[in-house]
């Protein structure tokens, strides 16, 4: 009796396809975010992505959706939104209070941005399971990192 052992190695083509499928699509349609974030005002342009980790259609049950978005608002909008709230400086990085813009969106972030953040605005401007908003008044850009953004009441 002979035992046959076969090895199973991943091919470079299969690896490349798997890696490509991990890359999230970047959307530029303002409507889905404008509908969910009316308190921000008019979104002039946007680059955003949505991820549903564990969103395997074979598994029943709810799925969380993580949204990352860089939104350009009407001129002066960020100054108006941040005027009545104490803002704290924020920086791009990997720390707990840092902005972690996904690599796919980083090229759309304004150069030299001076990001600011307020937990108060996170709760008043976004209806979501969790959300953080970062503002760059100089470019009227808002960065959103959120889980399960809901429609307004």
**Residue 107 in this model has a pLDDT that exceeds 50:** yes
Q: What is the pLDDT of residue 125?
A: 97
Among candidate residues 71, 72, 54, 68, the one with its CA nearest the CA of residue 24? 68
What pairs with residue 142 in β-bridges? 71, 135
Q: What is the pLDDT of residue 131?
A: 96
Q: What is the pLDDT of residue 140?
A: 98
| Integer Cα distance of 70 and 73 in angstroms | 10
Q: What is the pLDDT of residue 55?
A: 56
What share of the chain in percent tops pLDDT 70?
80
- Output the six-digit token pair for 114: 């001076």
**Residue 26 in this model has a pLDDT that exceeds 50:** yes
> Residue 14's CB: how many other CB atoms inside 10 A?
10
Q: What is the pLDDT of residue 93?
A: 81
| Integer Cα distance of 82 and 117 in angstroms | 9
Q: What is the pLDDT of residue 53?
A: 76
Q: What is the pLDDT of residue 87?
A: 96
E-strand stretches of the chain: 43-51, 66-73, 88-89, 116-117, 128-136, 141-149
Mean pLDDT of the chain: 84
pLDDT band at 126 (very low <50, low <70, confident <90, very high): very high
Q: 43 by DSSP, 3-state: which?
A: strand
How many residues are present in the chain? 153
Residues 27-79 pLDDT 10s: 999 999 999 999 999 999 999 999 987 655 566 657 899 999 999 999 999 99
Q: What is the pLDDT of residue 106?
A: 95
Q: Do 109 and 70 touch, CB atoms closer than 8 A?
A: yes
pLDDT band at 10 (very low <50, low <70, confident <90, very high): very low
């Amino acid at each position: 009796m002979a035992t046959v052992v076969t090895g199973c190695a991943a091919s470079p083509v299969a690896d490349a396809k798997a890696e490509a499928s991990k890359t999230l699509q970047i959307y530029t349609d303002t409507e889905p975010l404008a509908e969910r974030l009316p308190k921000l005002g008019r979104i002039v342009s946007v680059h955003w992505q949505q991820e549903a980790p564990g969103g395997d259609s074979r598994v029943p049950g709810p799925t969380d959706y993580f949204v990352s978005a860089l939104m350009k608002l009407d001129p002066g909008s960020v100054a108006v939104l941040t005027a009545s709230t104490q803002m704290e400086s924020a920086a791009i990085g990997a720390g707990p209070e840092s902005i972690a813009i996904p690599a796919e969106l980083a090229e759309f972030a304004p150069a030299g941005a001076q990001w600011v953040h307020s937990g108060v605005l996170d709760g008043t401007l976004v209806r979501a399971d969790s959300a953080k908003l970062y503002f760059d008044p100089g470019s009227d850009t808002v960065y959103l990192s959120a889980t399960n953004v809901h429609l307004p009441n």
